[in-house]
A and B are shown apart, each in its own frame.
Chain A
Protein backbone atom coordinates (compact mmCIF):
# COMPACT_ATOMS: atom_id res chain seq x y z
CA UNK A 1 0.00 0.00 0.00
CA UNK A 2 1.38 3.38 -1.01
CA UNK A 3 1.33 6.72 0.70
CA UNK A 4 -1.95 8.62 0.84
CA UNK A 5 -2.12 11.96 -0.99
CA UNK A 6 -4.98 14.40 -1.35
CA UNK A 7 -5.27 16.16 -4.71
CA UNK A 8 -7.70 19.06 -5.13
CA UNK A 9 -9.71 18.90 -8.40
CA UNK A 10 -11.48 22.09 -9.49
CA UNK A 11 -13.32 24.45 -9.18
CA UNK A 12 -11.38 25.83 -12.13
CA UNK A 13 -10.18 22.92 -14.30
CA UNK A 14 -9.62 22.62 -18.06
CA UNK A 15 -12.21 19.87 -18.59
CA UNK A 16 -14.89 21.46 -16.43
CA UNK A 17 -17.02 24.19 -17.97
CA UNK A 18 -18.60 24.54 -14.53
CA UNK A 19 -17.13 24.84 -11.04
CA UNK A 20 -17.23 21.81 -8.75
CA UNK A 21 -14.56 20.89 -6.27
CA UNK A 22 -13.44 17.35 -5.39
CA UNK A 23 -10.85 16.34 -2.84
CA UNK A 24 -9.38 13.18 -4.34
CA UNK A 25 -7.78 10.86 -1.79
CA UNK A 26 -5.13 8.84 -3.64
CA UNK A 27 -3.09 5.77 -2.89
CA UNK A 28 -0.41 5.91 -5.58
CA UNK A 29 -2.47 6.35 -8.76
CA UNK A 30 -5.71 4.88 -7.40
CA UNK A 31 -8.52 7.08 -6.10
CA UNK A 32 -9.77 5.64 -2.81
CA UNK A 33 -12.29 8.36 -2.06
CA UNK A 34 -13.63 11.57 -3.56
CA UNK A 35 -15.10 14.23 -1.28
CA UNK A 36 -17.27 16.72 -3.16
CA UNK A 37 -17.68 20.36 -2.20
CA UNK A 38 -20.26 22.54 -3.90
CA UNK A 39 -21.67 26.05 -3.47
CA UNK A 40 -19.64 27.99 -6.04
CA UNK A 41 -22.74 28.66 -8.14
CA UNK A 42 -25.29 29.14 -5.37
CA UNK A 43 -27.44 32.24 -5.91
CA UNK A 44 -30.47 31.44 -3.77
CA UNK A 45 -33.09 32.03 -6.44
CA UNK A 46 -35.82 30.03 -4.66
CA UNK A 47 -36.06 32.93 -2.22
CA UNK A 48 -36.83 35.30 -5.10
CA UNK A 49 -40.47 34.08 -5.19
CA UNK A 50 -41.04 36.62 -2.41
CA UNK A 51 -40.04 39.49 -4.72
CA UNK A 52 -41.34 38.28 -8.11
CA UNK A 53 -44.94 37.25 -8.77
CA UNK A 54 -45.69 33.88 -10.35
CA UNK A 55 -45.68 35.24 -13.90
CA UNK A 56 -42.40 37.15 -13.51
CA UNK A 57 -40.77 34.18 -11.81
CA UNK A 58 -41.11 32.27 -15.09
CA UNK A 59 -38.03 34.13 -16.34
CA UNK A 60 -36.06 33.38 -13.18
CA UNK A 61 -37.07 29.69 -13.32
CA UNK A 62 -35.84 29.49 -16.90
CA UNK A 63 -32.44 30.76 -15.77
CA UNK A 64 -31.93 28.00 -13.19
CA UNK A 65 -29.74 26.53 -15.92
CA UNK A 66 -28.84 27.56 -19.45
CA UNK A 67 -28.57 24.01 -20.79
CA UNK A 68 -31.80 22.64 -19.29
CA UNK A 69 -33.49 26.05 -19.67
CA UNK A 70 -36.54 24.88 -21.59
CA UNK A 71 -37.04 21.93 -19.25
CA UNK A 72 -37.07 24.20 -16.22
CA UNK A 73 -39.51 26.66 -17.80
CA UNK A 74 -41.74 23.71 -18.72
CA UNK A 75 -41.50 22.24 -15.22
CA UNK A 76 -42.32 25.56 -13.58
CA UNK A 77 -45.24 26.24 -15.93
CA UNK A 78 -46.58 22.72 -15.36
CA UNK A 79 -46.40 23.17 -11.58
CA UNK A 80 -48.21 26.52 -11.57
CA UNK A 81 -50.85 25.22 -13.97
CA UNK A 82 -51.51 22.27 -11.64
CA UNK A 83 -51.60 24.65 -8.67
CA UNK A 84 -54.21 26.87 -10.35
CA UNK A 85 -56.10 24.05 -12.07
CA UNK A 86 -55.55 25.38 -15.59
CA UNK A 87 -55.84 23.13 -18.60
CA UNK A 88 -53.73 24.19 -21.57
CA UNK A 89 -54.56 23.66 -25.28
CA UNK A 90 -53.42 20.43 -26.94
CA UNK A 91 -51.31 22.25 -29.55
CA UNK A 92 -49.34 24.00 -26.80
CA UNK A 93 -48.65 20.65 -25.12
CA UNK A 94 -47.31 19.23 -28.37
CA UNK A 95 -45.15 22.30 -29.07
CA UNK A 96 -43.71 22.09 -25.56
CA UNK A 97 -42.75 18.44 -26.06
CA UNK A 98 -41.18 19.25 -29.45
CA UNK A 99 -39.00 21.99 -27.90
CA UNK A 100 -38.24 19.80 -24.92
CA UNK A 101 -37.03 16.94 -27.12
CA UNK A 102 -35.00 19.36 -29.27
CA UNK A 103 -33.39 20.54 -26.01
CA UNK A 104 -32.57 16.94 -25.18
CA UNK A 105 -30.86 16.52 -28.57
CA UNK A 106 -28.83 19.73 -28.05
CA UNK A 107 -27.93 18.75 -24.48
CA UNK A 108 -26.80 15.23 -25.42
CA UNK A 109 -24.77 16.50 -28.40
CA UNK A 110 -23.15 19.06 -26.08
CA UNK A 111 -22.31 16.30 -23.60
CA UNK A 112 -20.91 13.99 -26.30
CA UNK A 113 -18.67 16.85 -27.45
CA UNK A 114 -17.46 17.57 -23.92
CA UNK A 115 -16.70 13.92 -23.29
CA UNK A 116 -14.72 13.74 -26.55
CA UNK A 117 -12.79 16.80 -25.32
CA UNK A 118 -12.34 15.00 -21.98
CA UNK A 119 -10.56 12.02 -23.55
CA UNK A 120 -8.57 14.27 -25.87
CA UNK A 121 -10.30 13.66 -29.22
CA UNK A 122 -10.45 17.31 -30.29
CA UNK A 123 -11.82 16.88 -33.81
CA UNK A 124 -14.70 14.72 -32.59
CA UNK A 125 -15.58 17.51 -30.14
CA UNK A 126 -15.59 20.05 -32.96
CA UNK A 127 -17.74 17.86 -35.24
CA UNK A 128 -20.29 17.11 -32.52
CA UNK A 129 -20.68 20.80 -31.74
CA UNK A 130 -20.93 21.62 -35.43
CA UNK A 131 -23.95 19.30 -35.63
CA UNK A 132 -25.39 20.84 -32.47
CA UNK A 133 -25.45 24.26 -34.15
CA UNK A 134 -28.22 22.98 -36.47
CA UNK A 135 -30.48 22.37 -33.48
CA UNK A 136 -29.62 25.84 -32.14
CA UNK A 137 -30.55 27.27 -35.56
CA UNK A 138 -34.01 25.69 -35.18
CA UNK A 139 -34.34 27.35 -31.76
CA UNK A 140 -33.23 30.68 -33.14
CA UNK A 141 -35.71 30.46 -36.01
CA UNK A 142 -38.68 29.41 -33.88
CA UNK A 143 -38.12 31.42 -30.68
CA UNK A 144 -35.37 33.99 -31.32
CA UNK A 145 -33.03 32.64 -28.64
CA UNK A 146 -30.16 30.19 -28.91
CA UNK A 147 -29.95 28.83 -25.36
CA UNK A 148 -32.65 30.72 -23.45
CA UNK A 149 -35.92 30.98 -25.35
CA UNK A 150 -38.62 32.39 -23.05
CA UNK A 151 -41.04 30.35 -25.18
CA UNK A 152 -43.03 28.82 -22.33
CA UNK A 153 -45.53 30.77 -20.27
CA UNK A 154 -48.08 29.91 -17.61
CA UNK A 155 -51.07 28.77 -19.70
CA UNK A 156 -49.31 27.68 -22.86
CA UNK A 157 -46.54 28.81 -25.16
CA UNK A 158 -45.65 32.25 -26.55
CA UNK A 159 -44.75 31.32 -30.13
CA UNK A 160 -46.54 29.08 -32.57
CA UNK A 161 -44.67 27.05 -35.19
CA UNK A 162 -46.40 26.85 -38.58
CA UNK A 163 -47.06 23.32 -39.87
CA UNK A 164 -44.87 23.99 -42.91
CA UNK A 165 -42.03 25.03 -40.60
CA UNK A 166 -42.53 21.88 -38.53
CA UNK A 167 -41.98 19.72 -41.60
CA UNK A 168 -38.87 21.83 -42.30
CA UNK A 169 -37.62 20.92 -38.81
CA UNK A 170 -38.18 17.24 -39.53
CA UNK A 171 -36.15 17.58 -42.74
CA UNK A 172 -33.28 19.23 -40.80
CA UNK A 173 -33.39 16.43 -38.20
CA UNK A 174 -33.31 13.76 -40.93
CA UNK A 175 -30.17 15.36 -42.35
CA UNK A 176 -28.70 15.55 -38.86
CA UNK A 177 -29.45 11.88 -38.22
CA UNK A 178 -27.52 10.69 -41.27
CA UNK A 179 -24.40 12.71 -40.34
CA UNK A 180 -24.83 11.71 -36.73
CA UNK A 181 -24.59 8.00 -37.66
CA UNK A 182 -20.95 8.57 -38.66
CA UNK A 183 -20.12 10.44 -35.43
CA UNK A 184 -21.85 7.98 -33.13
CA UNK A 185 -19.82 5.21 -34.79
CA UNK A 186 -16.69 6.98 -33.52
CA UNK A 187 -18.06 6.96 -29.96
CA UNK A 188 -19.31 3.38 -29.97
CA UNK A 189 -16.92 1.48 -32.29
CA UNK A 190 -13.54 3.27 -32.32
CA UNK A 191 -10.99 1.12 -30.44
CA UNK A 192 -9.00 3.99 -28.92
CA UNK A 193 -12.22 5.64 -27.69
CA UNK A 194 -13.47 2.36 -26.25
CA UNK A 195 -10.18 1.89 -24.40
CA UNK A 196 -10.98 5.06 -22.48
CA UNK A 197 -14.63 4.15 -21.82
CA UNK A 198 -15.15 0.39 -21.38
CA UNK A 199 -15.02 -0.77 -17.76
CA UNK A 200 -14.28 2.74 -16.42
CA UNK A 201 -16.26 4.02 -13.43
CA UNK A 202 -18.66 1.10 -12.99
CA UNK A 203 -21.87 1.64 -11.03
CA UNK A 204 -23.78 -1.65 -10.62
CA UNK A 205 -27.55 -1.93 -10.88
CA UNK A 206 -27.87 -2.48 -7.10
CA UNK A 207 -25.73 0.57 -6.32
CA UNK A 208 -27.68 2.68 -8.82
CA UNK A 209 -30.93 1.56 -7.20
CA UNK A 210 -29.72 2.17 -3.63
CA UNK A 211 -28.33 5.63 -4.45
CA UNK A 212 -31.41 6.49 -6.58
CA UNK A 213 -29.41 7.34 -9.70
CA UNK A 214 -31.70 8.99 -12.27
CA UNK A 215 -31.65 9.75 -15.98
CA UNK A 216 -29.11 8.29 -18.42
CA UNK A 217 -26.78 7.63 -15.48
CA UNK A 218 -29.27 5.23 -13.88
CA UNK A 219 -30.49 3.83 -17.19
CA UNK A 220 -26.90 2.95 -18.15
CA UNK A 221 -26.80 0.76 -15.02
CA UNK A 222 -29.91 -1.06 -16.22
CA UNK A 223 -32.66 0.80 -14.33
CA UNK A 224 -35.56 1.26 -16.80
CA UNK A 225 -36.68 4.45 -15.10
CA UNK A 226 -37.89 7.37 -17.21
CA UNK A 227 -40.54 9.91 -16.20
CA UNK A 228 -41.60 10.31 -19.81
CA UNK A 229 -43.26 6.88 -19.59
CA UNK A 230 -45.88 8.19 -17.10
CA UNK A 231 -47.07 10.36 -20.00
CA UNK A 232 -47.18 13.98 -18.86
CA UNK A 233 -48.33 16.58 -21.38
CA UNK A 234 -47.88 15.57 -25.01
CA UNK A 235 -46.02 12.38 -24.10
CA UNK A 236 -49.40 10.77 -23.25
CA UNK A 237 -50.21 10.62 -26.97
CA UNK A 238 -47.10 8.70 -28.04
CA UNK A 239 -47.92 5.28 -29.51
CA UNK A 240 -45.35 3.50 -27.40
CA UNK A 241 -42.47 4.80 -25.37
CA UNK A 242 -39.67 2.51 -24.21
CA UNK A 243 -36.78 3.95 -22.14
CA UNK A 244 -33.30 3.38 -23.60
CA UNK A 245 -31.23 1.25 -21.21
CA UNK A 246 -27.89 -0.53 -21.16
CA UNK A 247 -26.82 -3.08 -18.54
CA UNK A 248 -23.05 -2.57 -18.13
CA UNK A 249 -23.01 0.55 -15.89
CA UNK A 250 -19.62 1.81 -17.14
CA UNK A 251 -18.73 5.00 -19.04
CA UNK A 252 -19.29 3.24 -22.36
CA UNK A 253 -22.86 2.34 -21.37
CA UNK A 254 -23.58 5.96 -20.39
CA UNK A 255 -22.27 7.06 -23.76
CA UNK A 256 -24.38 4.43 -25.54
CA UNK A 257 -27.59 5.45 -23.74
CA UNK A 258 -27.14 9.11 -24.70
CA UNK A 259 -26.18 8.29 -28.28
CA UNK A 260 -29.38 6.24 -28.68
CA UNK A 261 -31.56 8.79 -26.88
CA UNK A 262 -30.74 11.40 -29.51
CA UNK A 263 -32.22 9.10 -32.17
CA UNK A 264 -35.21 8.28 -29.92
CA UNK A 265 -35.90 12.02 -29.48
CA UNK A 266 -35.85 12.53 -33.25
CA UNK A 267 -38.45 9.74 -33.55
CA UNK A 268 -40.65 11.35 -30.86
CA UNK A 269 -40.52 14.73 -32.63
CA UNK A 270 -41.43 13.11 -35.96
CA UNK A 271 -44.38 11.30 -34.42
CA UNK A 272 -45.73 14.44 -32.73
CA UNK A 273 -45.24 16.60 -35.83
CA UNK A 274 -47.37 14.10 -37.77
CA UNK A 275 -50.12 14.20 -35.11
CA UNK A 276 -50.13 17.88 -34.05
CA UNK A 277 -53.67 19.31 -33.81
CA UNK A 278 -54.66 22.83 -34.93
CA UNK A 279 -55.96 25.44 -32.52
CA UNK A 280 -55.01 27.91 -29.81
CA UNK A 281 -51.55 27.92 -28.24
CA UNK A 282 -52.32 29.56 -24.89
CA UNK A 283 -55.13 30.29 -22.44
CA UNK A 284 -55.31 33.45 -20.34
CA UNK A 285 -54.49 32.75 -16.70
CA UNK A 286 -56.07 35.12 -14.17
CA UNK A 287 -56.15 35.24 -10.40
CA UNK A 288 -53.72 33.80 -7.91
CA UNK A 289 -52.97 30.35 -6.46
CA UNK A 290 -55.32 29.60 -3.53
CA UNK A 291 -54.01 29.91 0.03
CA UNK A 292 -52.52 26.66 1.31
CA UNK A 293 -52.66 24.93 -2.09
CA UNK A 294 -49.55 22.93 -2.86
CA UNK A 295 -48.45 20.74 -5.71
CA UNK A 296 -45.55 18.49 -6.68
CA UNK A 297 -44.81 17.87 -10.33
CA UNK A 298 -41.98 16.10 -12.09
CA UNK A 299 -40.54 15.73 -15.55
CA UNK A 300 -37.65 14.09 -17.36
CA UNK A 301 -34.79 16.51 -18.03
CA UNK A 302 -31.97 15.48 -20.38
CA UNK A 303 -30.03 14.55 -17.20
CA UNK A 304 -32.87 12.77 -15.41
CA UNK A 305 -35.88 13.31 -13.23
CA UNK A 306 -36.52 16.81 -11.85
CA UNK A 307 -38.98 17.57 -9.03
CA UNK A 308 -40.86 20.85 -8.59
CA UNK A 309 -42.84 21.91 -5.56
CA UNK A 310 -44.88 25.09 -5.18
CA UNK A 311 -47.12 26.41 -2.44
CA UNK A 312 -49.60 29.27 -2.88
CA UNK A 313 -50.82 31.75 -0.28
CA UNK A 314 -53.73 33.47 -2.00
CA UNK A 315 -51.63 36.31 -3.46
CA UNK A 316 -49.72 36.57 -6.74
CA UNK A 317 -46.55 35.73 -4.83
CA UNK A 318 -45.85 32.09 -4.05
CA UNK A 319 -45.13 31.01 -0.50
CA UNK A 320 -42.47 28.50 -1.42
CA UNK A 321 -40.89 27.15 -4.58
CA UNK A 322 -38.50 24.24 -4.60
CA UNK A 323 -36.62 22.36 -7.31
CA UNK A 324 -34.76 19.08 -6.97
CA UNK A 325 -32.60 18.54 -10.01
CA UNK A 326 -31.09 15.34 -11.43
CA UNK A 327 -27.42 16.16 -10.76
CA UNK A 328 -27.92 16.69 -7.03
CA UNK A 329 -29.32 13.17 -6.71
CA UNK A 330 -26.58 11.75 -8.97
CA UNK A 331 -23.61 13.08 -6.93
CA UNK A 332 -23.59 10.09 -4.48
CA UNK A 333 -23.52 7.76 -7.50
CA UNK A 334 -20.64 9.71 -9.02
CA UNK A 335 -18.62 9.51 -5.80
CA UNK A 336 -19.23 5.73 -5.67
CA UNK A 337 -18.18 5.31 -9.31
CA UNK A 338 -15.01 7.35 -8.64
CA UNK A 339 -13.80 5.14 -5.77
CA UNK A 340 -11.18 2.74 -7.05
CA UNK A 341 -10.55 4.38 -10.44
CA UNK A 342 -7.28 5.66 -11.90
CA UNK A 343 -6.46 9.36 -11.39
CA UNK A 344 -6.40 9.87 -15.18
CA UNK A 345 -9.99 8.64 -15.47
CA UNK A 346 -11.41 11.14 -12.95
CA UNK A 347 -12.36 13.84 -15.50
CA UNK A 348 -14.05 11.19 -17.67
CA UNK A 349 -16.14 9.79 -14.82
CA UNK A 350 -17.11 13.24 -13.55
CA UNK A 351 -18.23 14.12 -17.09
CA UNK A 352 -20.21 10.91 -17.60
CA UNK A 353 -22.83 11.84 -15.00
CA UNK A 354 -23.29 14.96 -17.14
CA UNK A 355 -22.97 17.32 -14.17
CA UNK A 356 -25.13 20.40 -14.29
CA UNK A 357 -23.82 22.30 -11.29
CA UNK A 358 -25.90 25.38 -11.96
CA UNK A 359 -29.11 23.30 -11.65
CA UNK A 360 -27.83 21.60 -8.52
CA UNK A 361 -26.99 24.73 -6.61
CA UNK A 362 -29.52 27.18 -8.07
Chain B
Protein backbone atom coordinates (compact mmCIF):
# COMPACT_ATOMS: atom_id res chain seq x y z
CA UNK B 1 0.00 0.00 0.00
CA UNK B 2 1.73 3.17 -1.12
CA UNK B 3 -0.77 5.59 0.37
CA UNK B 4 -4.00 5.30 2.29
CA UNK B 5 -7.05 5.87 0.11
CA UNK B 6 -9.07 7.13 3.03
CA UNK B 7 -8.49 9.06 6.23
CA UNK B 8 -10.00 6.49 8.58
CA UNK B 9 -11.64 7.58 11.82
CA UNK B 10 -11.64 5.18 14.71
CA UNK B 11 -13.98 4.58 17.61
CA UNK B 12 -12.65 2.87 20.70
CA UNK B 13 -14.63 0.88 23.23
CA UNK B 14 -13.19 -0.82 26.30
CA UNK B 15 -15.15 -4.02 26.91
CA UNK B 16 -13.82 -5.93 29.93
CA UNK B 17 -10.32 -4.65 29.27
CA UNK B 18 -7.92 -4.26 32.22
CA UNK B 19 -7.00 -0.79 30.80
CA UNK B 20 -3.59 -1.98 29.66
CA UNK B 21 -4.65 -2.05 26.00
CA UNK B 22 -6.85 1.06 26.34
CA UNK B 23 -4.02 3.26 27.46
CA UNK B 24 -1.85 1.81 24.69
CA UNK B 25 -4.56 2.75 22.14
CA UNK B 26 -4.51 6.28 23.56
CA UNK B 27 -0.70 6.27 23.56
CA UNK B 28 -0.87 5.61 19.80
CA UNK B 29 -2.57 8.99 19.35
CA UNK B 30 0.08 10.92 21.29
CA UNK B 31 3.36 12.37 19.96
CA UNK B 32 5.69 9.35 20.19
CA UNK B 33 3.58 7.01 18.00
CA UNK B 34 1.31 9.62 16.40
CA UNK B 35 -1.19 7.74 14.24
CA UNK B 36 -2.56 11.06 13.02
CA UNK B 37 0.15 10.92 10.36
CA UNK B 38 -1.97 8.21 8.70
CA UNK B 39 -4.97 10.53 8.88
CA UNK B 40 -6.41 8.51 11.77
CA UNK B 41 -8.55 10.47 14.24
CA UNK B 42 -10.19 9.14 17.38
CA UNK B 43 -13.89 9.92 17.19
CA UNK B 44 -16.49 9.51 19.90
CA UNK B 45 -19.38 9.09 17.51
CA UNK B 46 -20.06 5.65 15.95
CA UNK B 47 -21.65 7.32 12.91
CA UNK B 48 -18.39 9.10 12.08
CA UNK B 49 -16.16 6.06 12.49
CA UNK B 50 -14.84 3.53 9.96
CA UNK B 51 -12.75 1.35 12.26
CA UNK B 52 -14.03 -0.06 15.56
CA UNK B 53 -11.27 -0.85 18.07
CA UNK B 54 -12.41 -3.16 20.87
CA UNK B 55 -10.22 -4.09 23.82
CA UNK B 56 -11.09 -6.80 26.33
CA UNK B 57 -13.49 -9.70 26.21
CA UNK B 58 -17.28 -9.83 26.13
CA UNK B 59 -19.53 -10.25 29.16
CA UNK B 60 -23.27 -10.21 29.85
CA UNK B 61 -23.47 -6.43 30.46
CA UNK B 62 -21.39 -5.11 27.61
CA UNK B 63 -22.61 -7.48 24.86
CA UNK B 64 -25.58 -5.21 23.92
CA UNK B 65 -23.33 -2.11 24.10
CA UNK B 66 -20.80 -3.58 21.64
CA UNK B 67 -23.60 -4.68 19.26
CA UNK B 68 -25.25 -1.26 19.49
CA UNK B 69 -22.05 0.63 18.63
CA UNK B 70 -21.36 -1.81 15.76
CA UNK B 71 -24.90 -1.43 14.38
CA UNK B 72 -24.72 2.36 14.48
CA UNK B 73 -21.57 2.45 12.34
CA UNK B 74 -22.16 2.97 8.63
CA UNK B 75 -21.05 0.46 5.97
CA UNK B 76 -18.30 -0.29 5.06
CA UNK B 77 -16.79 -0.84 8.52
CA UNK B 78 -13.96 -2.85 10.02
CA UNK B 79 -13.58 -4.33 13.51
CA UNK B 80 -10.14 -4.72 15.12
CA UNK B 81 -9.86 -6.83 18.29
CA UNK B 82 -6.94 -5.50 20.37
CA UNK B 83 -5.15 -7.63 22.95
CA UNK B 84 -5.36 -11.29 23.83
CA UNK B 85 -8.57 -10.78 25.87
CA UNK B 86 -10.36 -9.42 22.80
CA UNK B 87 -8.94 -12.26 20.71
CA UNK B 88 -9.83 -15.24 22.90
CA UNK B 89 -10.52 -14.18 26.48
CA UNK B 90 -6.87 -14.49 27.58
CA UNK B 91 -6.21 -15.13 31.27
CA UNK B 92 -9.87 -14.43 31.98
CA UNK B 93 -11.32 -17.01 29.57
CA UNK B 94 -12.28 -19.33 32.46
CA UNK B 95 -13.97 -16.58 34.51
CA UNK B 96 -17.67 -17.14 35.10
CA UNK B 97 -18.66 -13.82 33.60
CA UNK B 98 -16.66 -14.01 30.37
CA UNK B 99 -18.08 -15.25 27.08
CA UNK B 100 -14.78 -15.10 25.20
CA UNK B 101 -13.33 -12.90 22.49
CA UNK B 102 -15.07 -10.06 20.67
CA UNK B 103 -16.00 -12.46 17.85
CA UNK B 104 -18.61 -13.97 20.18
CA UNK B 105 -20.56 -10.71 19.78
CA UNK B 106 -19.72 -9.21 16.36
CA UNK B 107 -17.66 -10.28 13.30
CA UNK B 108 -13.97 -9.38 13.69
CA UNK B 109 -11.69 -8.59 10.73
CA UNK B 110 -8.26 -8.08 12.30
CA UNK B 111 -6.81 -9.63 15.50
CA UNK B 112 -3.96 -7.94 17.38
CA UNK B 113 -2.65 -10.30 20.10
CA UNK B 114 -0.39 -9.28 23.01
CA UNK B 115 -0.79 -8.52 26.69
CA UNK B 116 -0.81 -5.62 26.66
CA UNK B 117 -0.72 -5.10 22.87
CA UNK B 118 2.17 -2.77 22.08
CA UNK B 119 1.48 0.51 20.24
CA UNK B 120 3.55 -0.75 17.28
CA UNK B 121 1.29 -3.82 17.03
CA UNK B 122 -1.86 -1.70 17.32
CA UNK B 123 -0.70 0.62 14.53
CA UNK B 124 0.11 -2.43 12.39
CA UNK B 125 -3.39 -3.80 13.08
CA UNK B 126 -5.04 -0.52 12.10
CA UNK B 127 -2.98 -0.27 8.90
CA UNK B 128 -3.98 -3.87 8.04
CA UNK B 129 -7.59 -2.87 8.73
CA UNK B 130 -7.18 -0.09 6.12
CA UNK B 131 -6.55 -2.76 3.47
CA UNK B 132 -9.66 -4.66 4.58
CA UNK B 133 -11.64 -1.40 4.47
CA UNK B 134 -10.48 -0.76 0.88
CA UNK B 135 -11.55 -4.25 -0.19
CA UNK B 136 -14.91 -3.84 1.52
CA UNK B 137 -15.55 -0.45 -0.12
CA UNK B 138 -14.73 -1.91 -3.55
CA UNK B 139 -17.16 -4.81 -2.99
CA UNK B 140 -19.76 -2.37 -1.68
CA UNK B 141 -19.43 -0.10 -4.77
CA UNK B 142 -19.66 -3.17 -7.06
CA UNK B 143 -22.88 -4.43 -5.42
CA UNK B 144 -24.40 -0.94 -5.69
CA UNK B 145 -23.53 -0.82 -9.42
CA UNK B 146 -25.12 -4.21 -10.03
CA UNK B 147 -28.27 -3.19 -8.18
CA UNK B 148 -28.80 -0.06 -10.30
Q: For chain A, which range describes its interface: under 10, 10 to 19, 20 to 34, or 35 or more residues?
A: 35 or more
Q: Which positions 62-90 of chain B face chain A at CB distance < 8 Å?
A: 62, 65, 69
Q: Are A66 and B19 in contact (CB under 8 A)?
A: yes
Identify whether the interface residues of B are mostly helix, strand, loop, or mixed.
loop
B9 is an interface residue with CB less than 8 A from chain A: no
Looking at the assembled complex, report how far the CB atom of A307 sits from the nearest CB atom of chain B, in whole angstroms. 19
Chain A residues near B13: list those with CB within 8 A.
Answer: 12, 19
Q: Are A44 and B65 in contact (CB under 8 A)?
A: no
Looking at the assembled complex, report how far the CB atom of B60 sits from the nearest CB atom of chain A, in whole angstroms. 8
Chain A residues near B61: list those with CB within 8 A.
Answer: 39-40, 42
A-B contact count (CB 8 A): 122
Number of chain B residues whose Cβ lies closer than 8 Å to a Cβ of chain A: 40
Chain A residues near B44: list those with CB within 8 A.
Answer: 12-14
- The answer to whether residues A147 and B32 also contact, given A43-B59, A60-B91 and a CB cut-off of 8 A, is no
Q: Are B116 and A356 in contact (CB under 8 A)?
A: no
A130 is an interface residue with CB less than 8 A from chain B: yes
- The answer to whether residues A43 and B97 also contact, given A67-B23, A126-B30, A148-B116 and a CB cut-off of 8 A, is yes
Q: Are B65 and A43 in contact (CB under 8 A)?
A: no
Q: Are B116 and A67 in contact (CB under 8 A)?
A: no
Q: Which positions 34-55 of chain A face chain B at CB distance < 8 Å?
A: 39-45, 47-48, 51
- The answer to whether residues A42 and B16 also contact, given A47-B96, A66-B116, A130-B31 and a CB cut-off of 8 A, is yes
User: 1/0 per residue A1-36: CB within 8 Å of B?
Assistant: 000000000011110011100000000000000000
Residues of B within 8 A of A (CB): 11-24, 26-27, 30-32, 43-46, 56-57, 59, 61-62, 65, 69, 91-92, 94-98, 115-116, 118
Known pairs A43-B97, A60-B91; list 5 more (Cβ under 8 Å). Answer: A12-B13, A40-B16, A41-B59, A51-B94, A63-B20
